[in-house]
Amino acid sequence: MAKLPRYKQEFIIKGKYLGATMRYGKQVHEETHAPASEAFFCPVCAAVWAICPTTDTMTQQVSDFMPYRVPCEQHDTRWGEIPGSIWKPWDKDFIATLPDDVVRYEFTQAMKLFKELE
C-alpha cells in the first residue's frame, strides 16, 4: 500500500489564508521527521509577513518554525530575493506542491519586481 502524506502545511501570507498542501515526512537515515513550519521575516523592519505552519495530521502537533530572511513587500531586496516572496528554488518538495493561490501570489510578486526594474 502506498504511503499517504501525513503533514498538512498551510500558507498565510500578509495575514491572508492562501490554502494548504499535504507533505511527506523527511527521511533521514532510518527515521521519518516532520517537515518544519516556516516563517518569513523582513531583515529591515522585522515583520513576520508570512507563516506556513505544518501540522502532523495524526497527532495535531505543529512543527517548530524555521525562519527565512526575505524582505517584505515594502522593503527593497539587497541580495537578489523577490520582496514578499516565499519561493525557495532549492526546495523542490516545497515549490512542487504549493496551492494554486500561492502560485498566483508568487507570480504577482515576481511581476511587480520586474516592472520596477524596467
Q: Which stretch binds Zn ion (CB under 5 A): 8-16, 17-25, 29-37, 68-76?
A: 68-76
In the complex, what is the shortest distance from the CB of residue 86 to Zn ion, in angstroms, rounded to a whole number? 14
> Given the complex with Zn ion, which of 44 and 48 has the nearer CB atom?
44
Q: Are the C-beta atoms of residues 41 and 49 closer than 8 Å to each other?
A: yes
Q: Are the C-beta atoms of residues 85 and 58 closer than 8 Å to each other?
A: no
> Given the complex with Zn ion, which of 45 and 111 has the nearer CB atom?
45
SS3 71: coil
In the complex, what is the shortest distance from the CB of residue 84 to Zn ion, in angstroms, rounded to a whole number? 9
115: left (phi over 0), alpha (psi -120 to 50) or beta: alpha
Q: Which stretch binds Zn ion (CB under 5 A): 9-17, 26-34, 39-47, 104-112?
A: 39-47
- 12 closest CA partner among 42, 48, 61: 48
In the complex, what is the shortest distance from the CB of residue 40 to Zn ion, in angstroms, rounded to a whole number? 11
Selected from 6, 75, 88, 112, the binder of Zn ion by CB under 5 A is 75
Does the footprint of Zn ion cover residue 42 (CB under 5 A)? yes
- Cα 47–chain centre separation: 15
